[in-house]
Amino acid sequence: MLQLKKKYCKFCGKDAIVYIGYANLGLCREHFIRFYENRIRKMLEKHRISGSLMVCVSGGKDSMSLLTAIKRISEDTDLDVYAFHINLGIPNYSDECESIVKGYAKQLLVPTIVSNLKKDIGFSLPEIISVSRKPPCAACGIVRRWIINKTAYELGFDFVATGHNIDDASTFFLKALMTQDYYSILRGQWEFLEPKKNYRLVGRIRPQFYLSERENMLYAQLNNIPIVDKPCPYSLRATIHKYKKAWSTLLEINPVSQINLTKTLMKLRKMMTIEEPMLYQCKNCGYPTENPNGICSFCRLISRVNKTLHNNS
Amino acid sequence: MLQLKKKYCKFCGKDAIVYIGYANLGLCREHFIRFYENRIRKMLEKHRISGSLMVCVSGGKDSMSLLTAIKRISEDTDLDVYAFHINLGIPNYSDECESIVKGYAKQLLVPTIVSNLKKDIGFSLPEIISVSRKPPCAACGIVRRWIINKTAYELGFDFVATGHNIDDASTFFLKALMTQDYYSILRGQWEFLEPKKNYRLVGRIRPQFYLSERENMLYAQLNNIPIVDKPCPYSLRATIHKYKKAWSTLLEINPVSQINLTKTLMKLRKMMTIEEPMLYQCKNCGYPTENPNGICSFCRLISRVNKTLHNNS
């Protein structure tokens, strides 16, 4: 996994179990866990996250590690942690995810909120995808963002935390650069977004924004965190994975390249004179949208699904 | 070399000898040569290059192919082509380069201008590098740019053409992004720069800006163009080569990725509010500099070399 280029732990001199390339740091088991949790703690402190926090947990290594770290951090802070899971209704996949998340959250003594797509909005993800003209991951993203925000807003959370990592952010930018996708570059990536209560928009934080998938996986392994170890069947088709794999070549040249690319594009974006997109309230659901016509992308998607599957307009 | 994914030439149906990934195009020998020369012709036409043109020729595949193509284009246009070569004084390298360039230009009936670094400025490149604190390629770039501009200006050329290709431009950007090198990104890359006669600055064009090294090499091979087939001994240490190699991974994912990255960054740069750097005339040599102190980087470099090697201030 993580290449071992430093033999000894920087902090205690014990045998290192991991080499963190971007920091040129060898770490033993104990100090890696401390290093990892400190990174997350600092991100929460930087953005002054306190009180009730809803952690979105899919069951994968990133979000399960995030839940674990935040739960531990909450023990000596005033954080009040809740797990939130969405059962997407994918056969041979979603029920297992729900069961692993619920079981582990119970073990951590973290209260869990579960949304079941089929029960709560009337359609499973496979049904939505069968009708949507968007790529599966794009449709799923629209649905998940809407449900996460609505649930957190209705339950009175100021912030939700998600398990996005530096592989996600840097690959988003890499793909956008390699495909002349200006829209994505200008839209950008972020570690933190303020809540906008008058638009029913809950604040969002990505505490693992500068942590890699490999660090999240190692943290999960070292802490015996159960994870869903098979990928979502829809994600296999996504082209983004091809770009994610290119990082092994680029990280070998420069182990800081993912962090550098992400920071560079975030800084370049700040140097551009771009107006922030206007927010409107969706005329249908009341949640925020950038669509000036007043119908959010979730409601447009569900309306198409409704028309096609129920054959009623 | 170029992967063969289309079996037949798009234009005549003959067996293809090459597949151009970014254009999804199979081409036979004859139509590849025509395609290649048309790309260069169009770039010259786009920027209205006519009259006397000084083509900088190192002896490598890029500049030797450029000279050949421009000479052929000149036969039915009013272009008047001259070759310009710099003998850098690198042992076991530079004399061979000079001899190959001179021999080939004679065969093409192109008049050749040669500058010999040791004779013309008093120091060979190895001498300059032994004293300079800059990386070899950076010091060499400063010297070459100054000599090219001075020679072209004194001989009355409006434009010089150089053999920069899409691998150069895209790797420049890739490295800058992966190292948070904002200066290079803001400085950018360009296919054409206007002359600024009042600053003694000759116009510059890179007719192969969107052509790849592999296309230049194939053109050289198909036309039996002699080339210097060993790399400059100093270039072997340059880190830029590591990034250049990463393109094989990225081009396999998306054959247009080099062109896309370059175009994207050139467009983003236009969206930023950046003041063009001021130009000054060097108090020493009279050629342009961005240094407000009034001494250009070439004169500063040579002054250090002079002081150290001749031990006179």
Total domain count, chain A: 1
Confidence grade of residue A277 (pLDDT, cut at 50, 70, 90): confident
Tell me the helices (H) and strands (E) count for chain B, helix number first: 12, 10
Do B161 and B55 meet the contact criterion of CB atoms below 8 Å apart?
Answer: yes
Structural domain for B93, as ranges: 37-270
Q: CA-nearest residue of chain A to B274?
A: A271
Q: CA-nearest residue of chain A to B245?
A: A249
Confidence grade of residue A309 (pLDDT, cut at 50, 70, 90): confident
Distance, CA of B142 to CA of B233 (rounded, Å): 18
We report the CATH number of the domain holding residue A52 as 3.40.50.620
- Residue A208 belongs to some domain of the structure: yes
| Contact between chains at A272 and B267 (C-beta distance less than 8 A) | no
Task: Please give the full DSSP string across A253-297, using - where no structure is assigned.
Answer: H-TTHHHHHHHHHHHHHHHB--PPPP-EE-TTT-SEES-TTS--H
- Residue A224 belongs to some domain of the structure: yes
Do B10 and B26 meet the contact criterion of CB atoms below 8 Å apart?
Answer: yes
- Beta strands B203-205; B192-193: pairing state: antiparallel
Residues sharing a CB contact under 8 Å with residue B199, sequence separation 6 or more, in sequence order: B279, B281, B288
Confidence grade of residue A4 (pLDDT, cut at 50, 70, 90): low
| Contact between chains at A177 and B179 (C-beta distance less than 8 A) | no
Residues sharing a CB contact under 8 Å with residue A236, sequence separation 6 or more, in sequence order: none
pLDDT of residue B313: 46
Residues of B in contact with A261 (CB under 8 A): 177-178
Distance, CA of B31 to CA of B10 (rounded, Å): 9
The mean pLDDT of chain A is: 94
Name the nearest CA neighbour of B158 among B61, B297, B44, B69: B44
| Contact between chains at B272 and A267 (C-beta distance less than 8 A) | no
pLDDT of residue B4: 57
Angle between helices B29-46 and B213-222 (to 10 degrees): 120
CA distance A185 to chain B (A): 9
| Contact between chains at B180 and A263 (C-beta distance less than 8 A) | yes
Do B39 and B211 meet the contact criterion of CB atoms below 8 Å apart?
Answer: yes
CA distance A120 to chain B (A): 39
C-alpha distances in Å from residue A311, one per residue of A125, A129, A308, B86, B155: 18, 16, 5, 75, 78
What are the structure tokens assigned to B264, written together?
Answer: 């994207």
Give residue-wise pLDDT tens across range A17-28.
999 999 999 999
Angle between helices A61-74 and A29-46 (to 10 degrees): 80
Distance, CA of A82 to CA of A63 (rounded, Å): 13
| Contact between chains at A253 and B265 (C-beta distance less than 8 A) | no
Tell me the helices (H) and strands (E) count for chain A, helix number first: 12, 10
Give residue-wise pLDDT tens across range A26-57.
999 999 999 999 999 999 999 999 999 999 99
- Say if residue A276's pLDDT is above 90: no
- Facing residue for B257 by CB, picked from A178, A263, A265: A178
- Say if residue A312's pLDDT is above 70: no
- Residue B8 belongs to some domain of the structure: no
Residues of B in contact with A180 (CB under 8 A): 260, 263-264
Chain B residues at the A interface, defined by Cβ less than 8 Å, are 176-180, 182, 185, 242-243, 246, 249-250, 253-254, 257, 260-261, 263-265, 267-268, 271-274
- Facing residue for B249 by CB, picked from A185, A246, A264: A246
- Residue B144 belongs to some domain of the structure: yes
- Least confident range from A32-41, A141-150, A208-217, B244-253: namely B244-253
Average pLDDT of adjacent 10-residue blocks, chain B of 313 residues? 71 95 94 98 97 97 98 95 98 97 98 98 96 92 98 97 97 97 92 95 98 97 96 85 92 95 94 84 95 93 92 55
Q: CA-nearest residue of chain B to A266?
A: B180
- Residue A254 belongs to some domain of the structure: yes
| Burial (CB count <10 Å: 0-12, 13-18, 19+), residue A154 | exposed
Q: How many CB pairs under 8 A join A and B?
A: 70
Residues sharing a CB contact under 8 Å with residue A120, sequence separation 6 or more, in sequence order: A147
Question: Backbone phi, then psi, for B202, in 5-degree steps?
Answer: -80, 145
Residues sharing a CB contact under 8 Å with residue A121, sequence separation 6 or more, in sequence order: A143, A147, A302
Element (H, E) at A144: helix A136-154
| Burial (CB count <10 Å: 0-12, 13-18, 19+), residue A236 | exposed
Q: Which of B182, B239, B256, B271 to mutate to test the interface with A (most CBs of A within 10 A)?
A: B271
Q: Which of A22, A166, A177, A244 to mutate to test the interface with B (most CBs of B within 10 A)?
A: A177
